[in-house]
Amino acid sequence: MGETPNEFKLKNSPEDGISAVKFGPNTNQFLLVSSWDTSVRLYDIVTDNMRIQYGHTAPVLDCCFQDTVHAYSGGLDKTLKMFDFNATTETNVGSHEAPIRCVEFCNEVNVVITGSWDSTVKLWDPRTPCCAGSFSQPDKVYTMSVCGDRLVVGTAGRKILVWDLRNMGYVQQRRESSLKYQTRCIRTFPNKQGYVLSSIEGRVAVEYLDPSPEIQKKKYAFKCHRIKEGGAELIYPVNAIAFHSVYNTFATGGSDGYVNIWDGFNKKRLCQFHRYPTSIASLSFSSDGSVLAIASSYMYEQDEPDTLQEDDIYIRNVSDQETKPKS
């Protein structure tokens, strides 16, 4: 697959599966990447170079920026790390009883959040840094997303929980996924009205947080990331979702190697990019939505494949035509 004029492949990509790509706050330049090769990397995508790399003792499953100079990460070593890019120092902030699957930062409440396979979510105060509370979830945490001062958590068993980060004394909403199969990814709308959820079985659901019946009538689900071959339909997991901060449109990435852009409010697909060499593991729009980072990384959906593709990060300049709702 040749690179297109509006897209290039980052140099010095991770040496094993890419677990997350995340742009920094208010930047189209700095990208944080966590990997199964036990490292977290900071890239400057404008100059196409890796600025900083730091490590864990086991594969890293997620990472996030707190601000422009601090990153947090966690994974199979069960440890939450904070890295200071200016001082190039790392701090072990705390740990879970089992691997940390998700790491998010909530700007509105100034708290770092981890979700773990030990069926808890923990909040961390970045000023100290120390644990500010541990909260039981119904099952292993697979995915989570911050929505203003709320947190949407997706666990095993197709459970969805909505928490108020300012009052974690009780669960604000308990839901079940409207998709029949295991939840893979949840991301919340930038306008804070709802979230998009994907499953391992080629489906995406658009959900609204307001529990009133008239708003709940607007929710729907649709099929995607399916390929017809030789009379059979191949169905792929939808691994990644990323929202455009300006237009409230979103991208999905699947194990079919495709990235689609959707207008969720008008129930339309806006475009599909060319096919990437292997599964799309993670997606992230830059803060103004002009750039999309695409992690193309095999996720072992089947046993050992015949040929293993490289793990690569593609940086794509996206146009309004690709991302803006058609009026």
For residue 281, give the nearest of 19, 13, 101, 7 by alpha carbon.
Answer: 19
**Structure confidence at residue 5 (pLDDT):** 75
Q: Are 238 and 202 in contact (CB under 8 A)?
A: yes
What is the pTM assigned to this prediction?
Answer: 0.95
What is the C-alpha to C-alpha distance for residues 242 and 253, in angstroms, rounded to an integer?
9
* Distance separating alpha carbons of residues 104 and 147, to the nearest angstrom: 11
Question: Fold for domain 7-301+312-323?
Answer: Methylamine Dehydrogenase; Chain H (2.130.10)
Q: What is the pLDDT of residue 298?
A: 84
pLDDT under 50: residue ranges of the chain? 1-2
> In this structure, what are the phi and psi dihedrals at residue 216, rounded to the nearest 5 degrees?
-65, -25
Per-residue pLDDT reduced to its tens digit, 11-67: 999 999 999 999 999 889 999 999 999 999 999 999 999 999 999 999 999 999 999
Residue 72 bridge partners (DSSP): 64, 82
How far apart are the C-alpha atoms of 77 and 56, rounded to whole Å? 7
Predicted confidence at residue 1, as pLDDT, reads 43
**Strand-by-strand arrangement of the 141-147 sheet:** 141-147, 150-155, 159-164, 173-176
DSSP state of 96: -
Closest CA to 325 of 289, 274, 273, 283: 289
pLDDT of 117: 98
